[in-house]
Protein backbone atom coordinates (compact mmCIF):
# COMPACT_ATOMS: atom_id res chain seq x y z
CA UNK A 1 0.00 0.00 0.00
CA UNK A 2 1.39 3.42 -0.89
CA UNK A 3 1.92 6.09 1.77
CA UNK A 4 -0.71 8.25 0.08
CA UNK A 5 -3.35 5.51 0.20
CA UNK A 6 -2.42 4.67 3.80
CA UNK A 7 -2.69 8.32 4.83
CA UNK A 8 -6.03 8.76 3.04
CA UNK A 9 -7.29 5.54 4.65
CA UNK A 10 -6.37 6.81 8.10
CA UNK A 11 -8.08 10.13 7.35
CA UNK A 12 -11.27 8.40 6.16
CA UNK A 13 -11.44 6.23 9.27
CA UNK A 14 -10.93 9.26 11.48
CA UNK A 15 -13.58 11.30 9.64
CA UNK A 16 -16.18 8.56 10.08
CA UNK A 17 -15.37 8.24 13.79
CA UNK A 18 -15.45 12.02 14.23
CA UNK A 19 -18.90 12.28 12.64
CA UNK A 20 -20.21 9.68 15.08
CA UNK A 21 -18.76 11.65 17.99
CA UNK A 22 -20.41 14.85 16.71
CA UNK A 23 -23.83 13.13 16.51
CA UNK A 24 -23.48 11.79 20.03
CA UNK A 25 -22.96 15.22 21.56
CA UNK A 26 -25.89 16.91 23.25
CA UNK A 27 -26.50 20.63 23.36
CA UNK A 28 -24.86 22.01 26.53
CA UNK A 29 -26.70 24.05 29.10
CA UNK A 30 -25.27 27.57 28.83
CA UNK A 31 -23.48 29.17 31.77
CA UNK A 32 -24.14 32.88 32.10
CA UNK A 33 -20.87 34.78 32.34
CA UNK A 34 -19.77 38.36 32.74
CA UNK A 35 -19.16 40.20 29.45
CA UNK A 36 -17.03 43.22 28.66
CA UNK A 37 -13.87 44.64 30.27
CA UNK A 38 -14.79 43.34 33.75
CA UNK A 39 -14.07 39.73 32.72
CA UNK A 40 -11.42 38.32 35.02
CA UNK A 41 -9.35 35.23 34.21
CA UNK A 42 -8.48 32.53 36.73
CA UNK A 43 -6.65 29.20 36.57
CA UNK A 44 -8.65 26.15 37.66
CA UNK A 45 -6.59 23.25 36.31
CA UNK A 46 -2.94 22.26 35.90
CA UNK A 47 -1.63 19.43 33.73
CA UNK A 48 2.12 18.91 34.03
CA UNK A 49 4.55 16.48 32.43
CA UNK A 50 8.00 17.23 33.85
CA UNK A 51 11.24 15.37 34.58
CA UNK A 52 10.59 15.73 38.34
CA UNK A 53 7.00 14.49 38.27
CA UNK A 54 3.86 13.97 36.20
CA UNK A 55 0.55 15.62 37.08
CA UNK A 56 0.08 18.51 39.46
CA UNK A 57 0.73 16.31 42.49
CA UNK A 58 3.81 14.82 40.84
CA UNK A 59 5.12 18.34 40.22
CA UNK A 60 4.40 19.29 43.85
CA UNK A 61 6.17 16.22 45.15
CA UNK A 62 9.15 16.75 42.85
CA UNK A 63 9.59 20.30 44.10
CA UNK A 64 9.31 19.30 47.75
CA UNK A 65 11.81 16.46 47.32
CA UNK A 66 14.45 18.98 46.31
CA UNK A 67 16.23 16.71 43.84
CA UNK A 68 17.44 17.45 40.34
CA UNK A 69 16.24 15.23 37.47
CA UNK A 70 19.28 15.88 35.29
CA UNK A 71 21.26 12.81 34.24
CA UNK A 72 23.50 11.42 31.50
CA UNK A 73 21.78 11.05 28.12
CA UNK A 74 21.36 7.43 27.06
CA UNK A 75 18.63 7.67 24.39
CA UNK A 76 20.99 8.91 21.66
CA UNK A 77 24.70 9.36 21.02
CA UNK A 78 26.18 12.57 22.47
CA UNK A 79 29.82 11.63 21.98
CA UNK A 80 30.27 14.24 19.26
CA UNK A 81 29.37 17.04 21.67
CA UNK A 82 30.93 18.56 24.77
CA UNK A 83 27.62 18.13 26.63
CA UNK A 84 26.24 14.70 27.59
CA UNK A 85 23.43 15.50 30.05
CA UNK A 86 19.71 16.34 29.95
CA UNK A 87 16.46 16.00 31.92
CA UNK A 88 14.02 13.64 30.24
CA UNK A 89 10.56 12.42 31.25
CA UNK A 90 11.62 8.87 32.00
CA UNK A 91 9.06 6.11 31.58
CA UNK A 92 6.12 8.39 30.79
CA UNK A 93 3.01 6.27 30.20
CA UNK A 94 0.59 7.96 27.82
CA UNK A 95 -1.95 5.11 27.70
CA UNK A 96 -4.31 6.77 30.21
CA UNK A 97 -4.51 9.77 27.87
CA UNK A 98 -4.17 8.31 24.36
CA UNK A 99 -5.12 4.86 23.11
CA UNK A 100 -2.63 2.84 21.08
CA UNK A 101 -3.94 3.78 17.63
CA UNK A 102 -4.12 7.47 18.42
CA UNK A 103 -0.69 7.56 20.01
CA UNK A 104 0.83 6.13 16.83
CA UNK A 105 -0.58 9.07 14.86
CA UNK A 106 1.18 11.59 17.08
CA UNK A 107 4.84 12.37 17.59
CA UNK A 108 6.21 12.85 21.12
CA UNK A 109 5.66 16.63 21.09
CA UNK A 110 1.94 16.22 20.36
CA UNK A 111 1.66 13.26 22.73
CA UNK A 112 2.94 15.51 25.52
CA UNK A 113 0.54 18.30 24.50
CA UNK A 114 -2.59 16.14 24.38
CA UNK A 115 -1.73 14.25 27.58
CA UNK A 116 -1.06 17.46 29.54
CA UNK A 117 -4.34 18.93 28.25
CA UNK A 118 -6.29 15.89 29.44
CA UNK A 119 -4.56 16.11 32.83
CA UNK A 120 -5.48 19.79 33.13
CA UNK A 121 -9.13 19.14 32.23
CA UNK A 122 -9.30 16.37 34.85
CA UNK A 123 -7.61 18.53 37.49
CA UNK A 124 -10.11 21.32 36.80
CA UNK A 125 -12.99 18.82 37.01
CA UNK A 126 -14.31 20.39 33.82
CA UNK A 127 -17.05 18.28 32.20
CA UNK A 128 -16.66 18.80 28.46
CA UNK A 129 -19.88 16.91 27.74
CA UNK A 130 -21.91 19.64 29.43
CA UNK A 131 -19.79 22.53 28.18
CA UNK A 132 -20.16 24.74 25.11
CA UNK A 133 -17.16 23.50 23.16
CA UNK A 134 -17.38 26.45 20.77
CA UNK A 135 -16.45 28.63 23.76
CA UNK A 136 -13.34 26.61 24.68
CA UNK A 137 -10.03 27.20 22.89
CA UNK A 138 -6.32 26.46 22.98
CA UNK A 139 -3.11 28.49 22.89
CA UNK A 140 0.12 26.50 22.83
CA UNK A 141 3.75 27.56 22.78
CA UNK A 142 6.75 25.59 21.52
CA UNK A 143 10.23 26.37 20.27
CA UNK A 144 10.81 23.36 17.99
CA UNK A 145 7.44 21.63 17.57
CA UNK A 146 7.84 18.28 15.81
CA UNK A 147 11.33 18.82 14.43
CA UNK A 148 12.70 15.83 16.34
CA UNK A 149 10.16 13.59 14.60
CA UNK A 150 11.35 14.91 11.22
CA UNK A 151 14.91 14.07 12.24
CA UNK A 152 13.85 10.50 13.05
CA UNK A 153 12.29 10.13 9.60
CA UNK A 154 15.34 11.22 7.64
CA UNK A 155 17.24 7.88 7.73
CA UNK A 156 14.19 6.16 6.21
CA UNK A 157 14.04 8.80 3.49
CA UNK A 158 17.77 8.44 2.80
CA UNK A 159 17.38 4.68 2.47
CA UNK A 160 14.06 4.32 0.62
CA UNK A 161 13.11 7.80 -0.52
CA UNK A 162 9.52 8.98 0.08
CA UNK A 163 8.40 5.38 0.65
CA UNK A 164 10.52 5.27 3.80
CA UNK A 165 8.80 8.24 5.45
CA UNK A 166 5.86 8.07 7.85
CA UNK A 167 2.88 9.69 6.06
CA UNK A 168 2.07 11.58 9.26
CA UNK A 169 5.30 13.61 8.98
CA UNK A 170 3.69 16.61 7.25
CA UNK A 171 1.01 16.69 9.94
CA UNK A 172 3.44 16.42 12.85
CA UNK A 173 6.33 18.76 12.22
CA UNK A 174 4.67 22.18 12.32
CA UNK A 175 4.35 24.04 15.64
CA UNK A 176 0.55 24.17 15.40
CA UNK A 177 0.28 20.37 15.44
CA UNK A 178 0.08 20.28 19.24
CA UNK A 179 -2.80 22.73 19.58
CA UNK A 180 -4.69 21.19 16.65
CA UNK A 181 -4.31 17.67 18.04
CA UNK A 182 -5.65 18.87 21.40
CA UNK A 183 -8.66 20.38 19.62
CA UNK A 184 -9.30 17.16 17.66
CA UNK A 185 -8.83 14.80 20.59
CA UNK A 186 -11.01 16.84 22.96
CA UNK A 187 -13.49 18.03 20.35
CA UNK A 188 -13.16 21.69 21.32
CA UNK A 189 -13.79 24.21 18.57
CA UNK A 190 -12.92 27.63 19.94
CA UNK A 191 -9.77 29.52 18.86
CA UNK A 192 -6.72 27.24 18.48
CA UNK A 193 -3.40 29.02 18.05
CA UNK A 194 0.29 28.27 18.48
CA UNK A 195 3.51 30.26 18.52
CA UNK A 196 7.20 29.40 18.18
CA UNK A 197 8.62 32.20 20.32
CA UNK A 198 11.59 30.26 21.68
CA UNK A 199 11.86 30.06 25.47
CA UNK A 200 9.14 32.69 25.91
CA UNK A 201 6.60 30.72 23.88
CA UNK A 202 4.37 29.33 26.61
CA UNK A 203 3.90 32.53 28.68
CA UNK A 204 3.05 34.32 25.44
CA UNK A 205 0.51 31.58 24.71
CA UNK A 206 -0.97 31.96 28.21
CA UNK A 207 -1.18 35.71 27.69
CA UNK A 208 -2.99 35.31 24.37
CA UNK A 209 -5.40 32.85 25.98
CA UNK A 210 -6.12 35.39 28.70
CA UNK A 211 -6.96 37.96 26.02
CA UNK A 212 -9.42 35.58 24.30
CA UNK A 213 -11.34 35.26 27.56
CA UNK A 214 -11.16 38.94 28.44
CA UNK A 215 -12.47 40.06 25.06
CA UNK A 216 -15.38 37.61 25.22
CA UNK A 217 -14.25 35.23 22.47
CA UNK A 218 -14.04 32.29 24.89
CA UNK A 219 -15.03 31.34 28.42
CA UNK A 220 -12.40 28.60 28.88
CA UNK A 221 -8.93 28.30 27.34
CA UNK A 222 -6.27 25.61 27.56
CA UNK A 223 -2.88 27.29 27.48
CA UNK A 224 0.74 26.38 27.97
CA UNK A 225 3.59 24.72 26.13
CA UNK A 226 5.03 21.41 24.95
CA UNK A 227 8.52 20.42 23.82
CA UNK A 228 10.31 17.20 22.79
CA UNK A 229 13.80 18.34 21.74
CA UNK A 230 15.87 15.38 22.97
CA UNK A 231 17.25 14.09 19.69
CA UNK A 232 20.76 14.38 18.35
CA UNK A 233 20.20 17.19 15.82
CA UNK A 234 18.12 19.44 18.10
CA UNK A 235 20.36 18.76 21.08
CA UNK A 236 23.49 19.18 18.99
CA UNK A 237 22.34 22.54 17.61
CA UNK A 238 22.51 24.00 21.12
CA UNK A 239 25.71 22.14 22.00
CA UNK A 240 27.44 23.57 18.93
CA UNK A 241 26.84 27.15 20.08
CA UNK A 242 28.10 26.30 23.61
CA UNK A 243 24.79 27.21 25.25
CA UNK A 244 24.58 24.11 27.47
CA UNK A 245 26.38 23.07 30.62
CA UNK A 246 29.34 20.71 30.30
CA UNK A 247 29.24 19.60 33.94
CA UNK A 248 28.95 16.01 32.73
CA UNK A 249 30.61 14.35 35.72
CA UNK A 250 28.02 15.73 38.15
CA UNK A 251 24.71 16.06 36.24
CA UNK A 252 22.46 16.84 39.21
CA UNK A 253 24.42 20.02 39.96
CA UNK A 254 24.82 21.13 36.34
CA UNK A 255 21.89 23.56 36.30
CA UNK A 256 22.75 26.12 38.97
CA UNK A 257 20.92 29.43 38.48
CA UNK A 258 22.63 32.51 39.92
CA UNK A 259 25.62 30.49 41.13
CA UNK A 260 29.15 31.73 40.44
CA UNK A 261 30.03 28.42 38.71
CA UNK A 262 27.07 28.26 36.31
CA UNK A 263 28.18 27.40 32.79
CA UNK A 264 25.04 26.91 30.70
CA UNK A 265 21.52 25.53 30.66
CA UNK A 266 20.48 21.87 30.71
CA UNK A 267 18.05 20.74 28.00
CA UNK A 268 14.80 19.03 29.01
CA UNK A 269 11.50 17.83 27.60
CA UNK A 270 7.87 17.87 28.68
CA UNK A 271 4.73 19.99 28.77
CA UNK A 272 2.36 21.94 30.97
CA UNK A 273 -1.18 23.07 30.20
CA UNK A 274 -3.32 25.36 32.36
CA UNK A 275 -7.12 25.62 32.32
CA UNK A 276 -8.00 29.31 32.19
CA UNK A 277 -11.58 30.34 32.94
CA UNK A 278 -13.63 33.50 33.21
CA UNK A 279 -14.05 34.00 36.94
CA UNK A 280 -17.86 33.87 37.02
CA UNK A 281 -17.82 30.75 34.83
CA UNK A 282 -15.48 29.07 37.35
CA UNK A 283 -17.50 30.16 40.39
CA UNK A 284 -20.83 29.02 38.95
CA UNK A 285 -19.55 25.47 38.58
CA UNK A 286 -17.83 25.52 41.97
CA UNK A 287 -14.31 25.17 40.61
CA UNK A 288 -11.19 25.21 42.76
CA UNK A 289 -9.12 28.29 41.84
CA UNK A 290 -5.31 28.29 41.97
CA UNK A 291 -5.02 32.00 41.27
CA UNK A 292 -5.85 34.82 38.89
CA UNK A 293 -3.88 35.95 35.85
CA UNK A 294 -3.69 39.69 36.33
CA UNK A 295 -1.60 40.68 33.32
CA UNK A 296 0.99 39.69 30.74
CA UNK A 297 3.58 41.64 28.76
CA UNK A 298 6.17 41.08 26.03
CA UNK A 299 9.12 43.13 24.76
CA UNK A 300 12.20 42.51 22.62
CA UNK A 301 15.82 43.37 23.36
CA UNK A 302 16.43 44.21 19.68
CA UNK A 303 20.06 43.39 20.37
CA UNK A 304 21.28 39.83 19.60
CA UNK A 305 19.92 36.36 18.78
CA UNK A 306 21.49 34.59 21.78
CA UNK A 307 22.84 37.25 24.16
CA UNK A 308 20.56 39.34 26.37
CA UNK A 309 20.80 43.10 26.16
CA UNK A 310 23.61 43.87 28.66
CA UNK A 311 21.82 46.70 30.46
CA UNK A 312 18.63 44.63 30.93
CA UNK A 313 16.44 47.60 30.06
CA UNK A 314 13.96 45.71 27.87
CA UNK A 315 13.61 42.86 30.35
CA UNK A 316 12.97 45.49 33.00
CA UNK A 317 10.43 47.25 30.76
CA UNK A 318 8.62 43.96 30.28
CA UNK A 319 8.29 43.46 34.05
CA UNK A 320 7.30 47.10 34.54
CA UNK A 321 4.60 46.95 31.84
CA UNK A 322 3.22 43.71 33.24
CA UNK A 323 2.86 45.25 36.70
CA UNK A 324 1.32 48.41 35.26
CA UNK A 325 -1.24 46.49 33.20
CA UNK A 326 -2.20 44.50 36.28
CA UNK A 327 -2.55 47.64 38.39
CA UNK A 328 0.02 46.27 40.83
CA UNK A 329 2.67 48.34 42.60
CA UNK A 330 6.11 46.68 42.69
CA UNK A 331 5.95 46.68 46.49
CA UNK A 332 2.94 44.32 46.34
CA UNK A 333 4.89 41.50 44.65
CA UNK A 334 5.87 38.82 47.15
CA UNK A 335 7.71 36.35 44.92
CA UNK A 336 9.37 36.20 41.52
CA UNK A 337 9.82 32.93 39.66
CA UNK A 338 12.91 33.92 37.71
CA UNK A 339 13.92 32.74 34.25
CA UNK A 340 17.24 31.78 35.85
CA UNK A 341 18.59 29.78 32.92
CA UNK A 342 21.97 29.06 34.58
CA UNK A 343 23.82 30.80 31.76
CA UNK A 344 26.50 33.34 32.69
CA UNK A 345 24.93 36.34 30.94
CA UNK A 346 21.24 35.69 31.49
CA UNK A 347 21.29 35.36 35.26
CA UNK A 348 23.31 38.51 35.87
CA UNK A 349 21.22 40.48 33.37
CA UNK A 350 17.97 39.32 34.97
CA UNK A 351 19.30 40.34 38.39
CA UNK A 352 20.08 43.79 37.03
CA UNK A 353 16.63 44.09 35.43
CA UNK A 354 14.86 43.15 38.68
CA UNK A 355 16.83 45.86 40.50
CA UNK A 356 15.78 48.43 37.89
CA UNK A 357 12.10 47.66 38.47
CA UNK A 358 11.99 47.09 42.21
CA UNK A 359 14.76 49.52 43.25
CA UNK A 360 15.82 48.97 46.89
CA UNK A 361 12.78 46.76 47.34
CA UNK A 362 14.50 44.14 45.16
CA UNK A 363 16.56 43.05 48.17
CA UNK A 364 13.41 42.25 50.17
CA UNK A 365 11.90 40.09 47.41
CA UNK A 366 11.85 36.31 47.56
CA UNK A 367 13.09 34.98 44.20
CA UNK A 368 13.92 31.52 42.91
CA UNK A 369 14.89 29.87 39.66
CA UNK A 370 13.60 26.29 39.44
CA UNK A 371 15.54 25.05 36.41
CA UNK A 372 17.98 23.38 38.80
CA UNK A 373 15.18 20.85 39.36
CA UNK A 374 13.81 20.24 35.90
CA UNK A 375 16.23 21.74 33.38
CA UNK A 376 15.09 23.88 30.48
CA UNK A 377 12.49 22.51 28.08
CA UNK A 378 12.71 25.57 25.84
CA UNK A 379 9.15 26.58 24.85
CA UNK A 380 7.49 24.47 27.56
CA UNK A 381 9.46 25.72 30.55
CA UNK A 382 7.55 28.97 31.01
CA UNK A 383 4.37 26.92 31.43
CA UNK A 384 6.05 24.76 34.08
CA UNK A 385 7.11 27.93 35.85
CA UNK A 386 3.63 29.45 35.53
CA UNK A 387 2.26 26.33 37.22
CA UNK A 388 4.91 26.58 39.95
CA UNK A 389 4.03 30.26 40.46
CA UNK A 390 0.36 29.38 40.90
CA UNK A 391 1.24 26.60 43.35
CA UNK A 392 3.32 29.11 45.31
CA UNK A 393 0.18 31.19 45.79
CA UNK A 394 -2.17 28.26 46.42
CA UNK A 395 0.12 26.17 48.65
CA UNK A 396 1.82 29.08 50.43
CA UNK A 397 5.27 27.60 49.81
CA UNK A 398 8.11 29.00 47.73
CA UNK A 399 10.52 26.53 46.10
CA UNK A 400 14.27 26.99 46.48
CA UNK A 401 16.95 27.60 43.87
CA UNK A 402 18.78 24.27 43.72
CA UNK A 403 22.58 24.11 43.54
CA UNK A 404 23.07 27.69 44.71
CA UNK A 405 26.10 26.74 46.79
CA UNK A 406 28.41 29.57 45.73
CA UNK A 407 26.28 32.66 44.95
CA UNK A 408 27.61 35.01 42.31
CA UNK A 409 28.35 38.40 43.94
CA UNK A 410 26.73 40.03 40.90
CA UNK A 411 23.52 38.08 41.62
CA UNK A 412 23.12 39.40 45.15
CA UNK A 413 19.35 39.16 45.67
CA UNK A 414 17.41 36.73 47.88
CA UNK A 415 17.32 33.67 45.61
CA UNK A 416 16.01 31.27 48.34
CA UNK A 417 19.16 29.21 48.77
CA UNK A 418 17.80 27.14 51.69
CA UNK A 419 17.12 23.61 50.38
CA UNK A 420 13.69 23.22 52.02
CA UNK A 421 12.22 26.27 50.35
CA UNK A 422 10.20 28.78 52.32
CA UNK A 423 6.73 28.69 53.86
CA UNK A 424 5.19 32.05 53.03
CA UNK A 425 1.86 33.47 51.97
CA UNK A 426 2.25 35.61 48.85
CA UNK A 427 -0.60 37.39 47.08
CA UNK A 428 1.17 38.60 43.93
CA UNK A 429 3.71 36.60 41.90
CA UNK A 430 5.67 37.59 38.81
CA UNK A 431 7.03 34.94 36.41
CA UNK A 432 9.81 35.81 33.94
CA UNK A 433 10.71 34.03 30.69
CA UNK A 434 13.42 35.25 28.33
CA UNK A 435 14.20 33.59 25.01
CA UNK A 436 16.49 33.51 21.99
CA UNK A 437 15.98 36.45 19.68
CA UNK A 438 15.75 38.78 22.67
CA UNK A 439 12.12 37.90 23.47
CA UNK A 440 11.05 38.86 26.99
CA UNK A 441 7.72 37.68 28.43
CA UNK A 442 6.20 38.13 31.87
CA UNK A 443 3.07 36.86 33.60
CA UNK A 444 1.55 38.34 36.76
CA UNK A 445 -0.56 36.14 39.06
CA UNK A 446 -2.65 37.04 42.08
CA UNK A 447 -4.64 35.42 44.86
CA UNK A 448 -8.43 35.48 44.37
Catalytic residues: 199, 339, 376
* Segment (H or E) for 148: helix 147-160
Strand bridging mode 136-141 / 220-227: parallel
Assess contact for 331 and 364: CB atoms under 8 A.
no
Euclidean distance between the first and the last CA atom of the chain, given in angstroms as a whole number: 57
User: How far, in Å, CA of 273 to CA of 223, rounded?
Assistant: 5
Assess contact for 277 and 220: CB atoms under 8 A.
yes
Q: Which of 263, 298, 413, 302 is nearest to 351 (CA)?
A: 413
> What is the DSSP secondary-structure string of 375-429?
-B-GGGHHHHHHHHHHHHHHHTEE---TT-SSB-TTS-S----STT-EE---SEE
- What pairs with residue 332 in β-bridges? none
Q: List for the chain the helix, strand, coil content (%; round to 5).
A: 40, 20, 40
The CA dihedral of 394, 430, 216, 199, to the nearest 10 degrees, is: -110
- What pairs with residue 274 in β-bridges? 46, 223
Amino acid sequence: MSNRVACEGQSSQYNRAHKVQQKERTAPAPITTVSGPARRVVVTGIGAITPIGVGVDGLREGLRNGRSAVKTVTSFDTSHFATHIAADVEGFDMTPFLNGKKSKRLDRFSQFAVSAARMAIADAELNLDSADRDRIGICLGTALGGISFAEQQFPGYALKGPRGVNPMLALSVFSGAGSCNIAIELGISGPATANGDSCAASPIAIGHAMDFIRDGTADVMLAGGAEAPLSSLCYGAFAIIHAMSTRNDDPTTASRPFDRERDGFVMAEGAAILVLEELNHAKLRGARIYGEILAHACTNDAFHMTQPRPDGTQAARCMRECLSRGGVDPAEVGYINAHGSSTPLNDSTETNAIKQVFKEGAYALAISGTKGYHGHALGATGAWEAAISLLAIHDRWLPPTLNLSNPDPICDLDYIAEPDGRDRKVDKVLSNSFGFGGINACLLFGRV
